[in-house]
Amino acid sequence: MDVTRLLERVRDGDRAAADALIEAVYDELRRLASSHLRRERSGHTLSATALVHEAWVKLADQQQPWQGRAHFFGAASRAMRRILVDYARARSAGKRRGERVSLTAVEDELSAAPSFDELLMIDGALDALSHVNDRLVRVVECRYFGGLTIPETAEALGVSHTTISEDWRFARAWLQRALGEAQDGSWKTGD
């Protein structure tokens, strides 16, 4: 069955549709979780299955009507990002050694696997970026954390492909600068 239709039925309170929805989206959520975990350090103790299950719980707790398939997967990607950041915070608690943060996590297509501390630094930079433009953060979440293409991101956010391309380019440059300043000690999350 069509995911968008299932989402509408779930929104209308159809409990059987919720079961059908998880069955319909589970493989795609696992792909999304695997994409998130590929960007993590090697030897990560969270599995794709655990990440999917935790994200599903977060999604189920949201009282938000999904506007379609892309919107749902964008929200799932955001939930997975939050879970990984919370996990990194818990793992890094008490391990602050004043190490320098590598910029490899935002170079080119933000493709290197960040350490826990780098992930926390990226999360802080994304929080600061949300003060500039919250949509830019959503673009990064969809593209980097979610592995969505530009057309999929455009659909999820309800804007044009051109806008997503421009936002993606700007967000990468902004994050590169912010993390470079963080490395030099001159960056503050409120700036």
pLDDT, tens digit, for every residue of 166-185?
A: 999 999 888 888 887 765 54
Cβ pair 86, 57 in contact under 8 A: no
Decide if pLDDT at 41 tops 50: yes
Structure tokens at 172: 């990468």
Q: The whole model's pTM is what?
A: 0.56
Structure tokens at 40: 């993590």
Cβ pair 181, 187 in contact under 8 A: yes
Cβ pair 122, 36 in contact under 8 A: no
CA dihedral 73, 38, 149, 85 (to 10 degrees): 50
Q: Which amino acid is at 179?
A: L
Distance CA 116, CA 91 (A): 7
Decide if pLDDT at 164 tops 90: yes
Q: What local confidence, expressed as pLDDT, does residue 163 receive? A: 94
pLDDT bracket for residue 115 (50, 70, 90): low
